[in-house]
Amino acid sequence: MKRFILAFVAAYIFLFLWGWLLNGVFLKDVYAETPNLWRPQSEMMSLFHWIIIGQALIVFSFVMIYASGFAGGGVVAGIRLGVLLEIAAIGMRMGFYAVQPIPGKLILYGSLGGLIEMIIVGAVVGAIYKPAGVRAA
């Protein structure tokens, strides 16, 4: 349980920082091309707790799936799970791209950023979380 919490906290901190860097800094100009699709900055800040809850849910789900099937494989298994989950996220982004006038490059850069994100999250979780049997061995 302690390892689970540690893995969750470490992965969450990375996800939060990377999310800010990717969406708030690197892709800021791309988002600005479609201002009608996004809330004004002040409104986003008033709903910031939803971002925190959403990111926490993503990391919690990641660690839960890892702990229930991939655990014991270490960093490589964590990265493998991260890549698998990011492929699913790309499917979801394609769905949004079909129904919303989001620029194609935002989908492309978002998917590349998401791949880096999930690889690192997987590596962090894989490095920290070890099932009891593996730790004892």
Q: Find the binder of other proteins among 9, 37, 112, 127 (CB under 8 A).
A: 37
Q: What is the DSSP letter of 67?
A: I
Shortest CB 47 distance to other proteins, Å: 4
Convert 12-44 to b/e letters by CB count within 10 Å (16 or more is b): bebbeebbeebbeeebeebeeeeeeeeeeeeee
Q: Name the minimum Å distance from CB 135 to other proteins.
A: 22
Between CA 105 and CA 126 the distance in angstroms is 31
Q: Per rule CB under 8 A, is residue 60 in the interface with other proteins?
A: yes
CA distance linking residue 91 with residue 14, whole number of Å: 23
If binding is defined by CB under 8 A, does position 26 make contact with other proteins?
A: no
CA distance 126 to 54: 21
From 44, 108, 127, 134, residue interacting with other proteins (rule: CB under 8 A)? 44
CA pair distance 132, 4, nearest whole angstrom: 11
Using the contact rule CB under 8 A, the part of the chain among 4-12, 71-79, 98-106, 120-128 near other proteins is: 98-106
Number of shown-chain residues binding other proteins (CB under 8 A): 39
Q: With binding defined as CB under 8 A, does residue 109 bind other proteins?
A: no
Residues that bind other proteins (CB under 8 A): 36-39, 43-44, 47-48, 50-51, 53-58, 60-62, 64-65, 68-69, 84-85, 87-95, 97-101
